[in-house]
Protein backbone atom coordinates (compact mmCIF):
# COMPACT_ATOMS: atom_id res chain seq x y z
CA UNK A 1 0.00 0.00 0.00
CA UNK A 2 2.79 2.43 0.92
CA UNK A 3 4.59 1.83 -2.37
CA UNK A 4 1.42 2.62 -4.38
CA UNK A 5 0.96 5.90 -2.50
CA UNK A 6 4.64 6.73 -2.97
CA UNK A 7 4.48 6.02 -6.70
CA UNK A 8 1.28 8.08 -7.07
CA UNK A 9 2.77 11.04 -5.18
CA UNK A 10 6.00 10.81 -7.19
CA UNK A 11 4.09 10.90 -10.49
CA UNK A 12 1.95 13.79 -9.26
CA UNK A 13 5.02 15.80 -8.21
CA UNK A 14 6.79 15.03 -11.48
CA UNK A 15 3.75 16.31 -13.37
CA UNK A 16 3.75 19.51 -11.34
CA UNK A 17 7.42 20.05 -12.00
CA UNK A 18 7.00 19.61 -15.73
CA UNK A 19 4.01 21.93 -16.11
CA UNK A 20 4.92 24.71 -13.64
CA UNK A 21 7.02 27.71 -14.64
CA UNK A 22 9.40 28.50 -11.81
CA UNK A 23 10.20 32.04 -10.71
CA UNK A 24 13.52 30.90 -9.27
CA UNK A 25 16.33 28.65 -10.42
CA UNK A 26 19.71 27.67 -9.01
CA UNK A 27 22.89 28.61 -10.83
CA UNK A 28 26.09 26.53 -11.03
CA UNK A 29 27.33 28.04 -7.76
CA UNK A 30 24.17 26.98 -5.92
CA UNK A 31 22.80 30.53 -5.67
CA UNK A 32 19.09 31.13 -6.10
CA UNK A 33 18.31 33.30 -9.12
CA UNK A 34 14.97 34.96 -9.95
CA UNK A 35 13.23 34.94 -13.30
CA UNK A 36 11.08 37.66 -14.82
CA UNK A 37 9.65 38.37 -18.28
CA UNK A 38 8.39 41.61 -19.80
CA UNK A 39 7.07 42.80 -23.16
CA UNK A 40 7.29 46.56 -23.67
CA UNK A 41 7.81 47.25 -27.35
CA UNK A 42 10.83 46.40 -29.48
CA UNK A 43 12.79 43.84 -27.50
CA UNK A 44 16.17 45.30 -28.49
CA UNK A 45 15.76 48.38 -26.32
CA UNK A 46 13.91 46.58 -23.55
CA UNK A 47 16.67 43.98 -23.30
CA UNK A 48 19.39 46.64 -23.20
CA UNK A 49 17.65 48.54 -20.41
CA UNK A 50 17.37 45.45 -18.20
CA UNK A 51 20.71 43.90 -19.24
CA UNK A 52 22.64 46.84 -17.80
CA UNK A 53 21.02 46.76 -14.36
CA UNK A 54 23.13 45.70 -11.41
CA UNK A 55 21.85 42.30 -10.29
CA UNK A 56 20.63 41.16 -13.70
CA UNK A 57 22.58 38.03 -14.53
CA UNK A 58 21.33 37.35 -18.04
CA UNK A 59 18.73 38.37 -20.60
CA UNK A 60 17.40 36.82 -23.74
CA UNK A 61 14.84 38.02 -26.23
CA UNK A 62 12.08 35.95 -27.71
CA UNK A 63 8.40 35.55 -28.33
CA UNK A 64 5.73 34.79 -25.74
CA UNK A 65 1.98 35.04 -25.27
CA UNK A 66 0.97 33.66 -28.64
CA UNK A 67 -0.79 30.67 -30.07
CA UNK A 68 1.60 29.53 -32.80
CA UNK A 69 4.35 26.98 -32.11
CA UNK A 70 7.99 27.85 -32.80
CA UNK A 71 7.42 31.29 -34.30
CA UNK A 72 10.14 33.25 -36.04
CA UNK A 73 10.48 37.00 -36.42
CA UNK A 74 8.89 37.15 -39.86
CA UNK A 75 5.84 35.18 -38.71
CA UNK A 76 5.42 37.22 -35.51
CA UNK A 77 5.52 40.43 -37.58
CA UNK A 78 2.46 39.30 -39.56
CA UNK A 79 0.38 39.86 -36.41
CA UNK A 80 -1.30 36.46 -36.76
CA UNK A 81 0.55 34.57 -34.00
CA UNK A 82 -0.44 36.83 -31.08
CA UNK A 83 3.13 36.66 -29.73
CA UNK A 84 4.74 39.69 -28.13
CA UNK A 85 8.42 40.55 -28.35
CA UNK A 86 9.51 39.58 -24.84
CA UNK A 87 12.64 39.77 -22.69
CA UNK A 88 13.26 36.95 -20.24
CA UNK A 89 15.48 37.99 -17.34
CA UNK A 90 17.51 36.03 -14.81
CA UNK A 91 18.39 38.15 -11.78
CA UNK A 92 19.92 37.91 -8.33
CA UNK A 93 17.13 38.75 -5.84
CA UNK A 94 19.78 39.61 -3.22
CA UNK A 95 20.90 42.51 -5.42
CA UNK A 96 17.74 43.59 -7.26
CA UNK A 97 14.15 42.82 -6.33
CA UNK A 98 11.22 41.93 -8.56
CA UNK A 99 9.59 45.22 -7.49
CA UNK A 100 12.65 47.11 -8.74
CA UNK A 101 12.38 45.30 -12.08
CA UNK A 102 8.70 46.28 -12.24
CA UNK A 103 9.65 49.92 -11.65
CA UNK A 104 12.10 49.79 -14.57
CA UNK A 105 9.41 48.16 -16.73
CA UNK A 106 6.83 50.88 -15.97
CA UNK A 107 9.20 53.80 -16.42
CA UNK A 108 10.79 52.72 -19.71
CA UNK A 109 7.78 52.49 -22.02
CA UNK A 110 4.31 53.90 -22.45
CA UNK A 111 1.88 51.37 -20.92
CA UNK A 112 -1.14 53.36 -22.13
CA UNK A 113 -0.72 52.73 -25.86
CA UNK A 114 -2.22 49.49 -27.12
CA UNK A 115 -0.06 47.59 -29.61
CA UNK A 116 2.41 50.42 -30.03
CA UNK A 117 5.66 51.82 -28.66
CA UNK A 118 7.11 54.84 -30.38
CA UNK A 119 7.21 54.27 -34.14
CA UNK A 120 6.65 50.51 -33.77
CA UNK A 121 3.09 49.25 -34.00
CA UNK A 122 1.48 45.82 -34.04
CA UNK A 123 0.37 43.26 -31.48
CA UNK A 124 3.97 42.11 -31.02
CA UNK A 125 4.75 45.48 -29.39
CA UNK A 126 2.05 45.40 -26.72
CA UNK A 127 2.78 45.84 -23.02
CA UNK A 128 2.73 42.65 -20.91
CA UNK A 129 4.06 41.50 -17.57
CA UNK A 130 4.43 37.71 -17.63
CA UNK A 131 4.41 36.24 -14.13
CA UNK A 132 6.01 32.97 -13.05
CA UNK A 133 4.08 32.52 -9.79
CA UNK A 134 1.28 33.99 -7.69
CA UNK A 135 3.65 36.28 -5.77
CA UNK A 136 4.80 37.90 -9.01
CA UNK A 137 1.19 38.17 -10.18
CA UNK A 138 0.21 39.96 -6.97
CA UNK A 139 3.18 42.35 -7.14
CA UNK A 140 2.48 43.07 -10.82
CA UNK A 141 -1.21 43.81 -10.12
CA UNK A 142 -0.32 46.07 -7.17
CA UNK A 143 2.26 47.95 -9.21
CA UNK A 144 -0.24 48.44 -12.05
CA UNK A 145 -2.78 49.98 -9.66
CA UNK A 146 -0.09 52.22 -8.16
CA UNK A 147 1.27 53.31 -11.56
CA UNK A 148 -2.21 54.05 -12.94
CA UNK A 149 -2.16 57.25 -10.87
CA UNK A 150 0.87 58.46 -12.86
CA UNK A 151 -0.83 58.44 -16.27
CA UNK A 152 -3.65 60.49 -17.75
CA UNK A 153 -4.80 57.59 -19.96
CA UNK A 154 -5.68 54.12 -18.70
CA UNK A 155 -2.94 51.51 -18.55
CA UNK A 156 -3.46 48.75 -21.14
CA UNK A 157 -0.66 46.48 -19.89
CA UNK A 158 -1.71 42.84 -19.70
CA UNK A 159 -0.64 40.68 -16.75
CA UNK A 160 -0.46 37.06 -17.88
CA UNK A 161 0.96 33.76 -16.66
CA UNK A 162 4.29 32.91 -18.26
CA UNK A 163 3.66 30.60 -21.16
CA UNK A 164 5.95 29.01 -23.67
CA UNK A 165 8.93 31.26 -24.42
CA UNK A 166 10.53 30.88 -27.84
CA UNK A 167 14.04 32.28 -28.21
CA UNK A 168 14.34 34.88 -30.95
CA UNK A 169 16.89 34.39 -33.68
CA UNK A 170 20.53 34.85 -32.66
CA UNK A 171 20.91 38.14 -34.53
CA UNK A 172 18.27 39.66 -32.20
CA UNK A 173 20.09 38.62 -29.00
CA UNK A 174 21.91 41.61 -27.43
CA UNK A 175 21.33 43.45 -30.70
CA UNK A 176 22.09 46.95 -29.42
CA UNK A 177 25.23 45.80 -27.60
CA UNK A 178 26.50 44.10 -30.77
CA UNK A 179 25.92 47.30 -32.74
CA UNK A 180 27.44 49.71 -30.20
CA UNK A 181 24.11 51.36 -29.37
CA UNK A 182 22.16 51.73 -26.15
CA UNK A 183 18.72 52.83 -27.39
CA UNK A 184 16.44 51.89 -30.27
CA UNK A 185 14.76 55.17 -31.14
CA atoms within 13 A on the CB side of 130: 26
DSSP string, 44-75: HHHHHHHHTSTTEEEEEEEEES-SSSS--HHH
β pairing state of 127-131 and 158-161: parallel
Residue 42 catalytic? yes
CA atoms within 13 A on the CB side of 115: 7
Q: What is the DSSP letter of 41?
A: S
CA distance 58 to 114: 28
Residue of 17, 42, 77, 184 with catalytic role:
42
Catalytic residues, which ones? 42
Amino acid sequence: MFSRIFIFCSILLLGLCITTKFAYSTNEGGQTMGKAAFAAGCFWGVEERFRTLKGVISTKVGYCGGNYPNPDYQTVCTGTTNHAETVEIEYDPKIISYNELLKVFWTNHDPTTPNRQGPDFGTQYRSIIFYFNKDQEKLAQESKVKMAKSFKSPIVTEILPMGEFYDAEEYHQKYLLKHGQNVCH
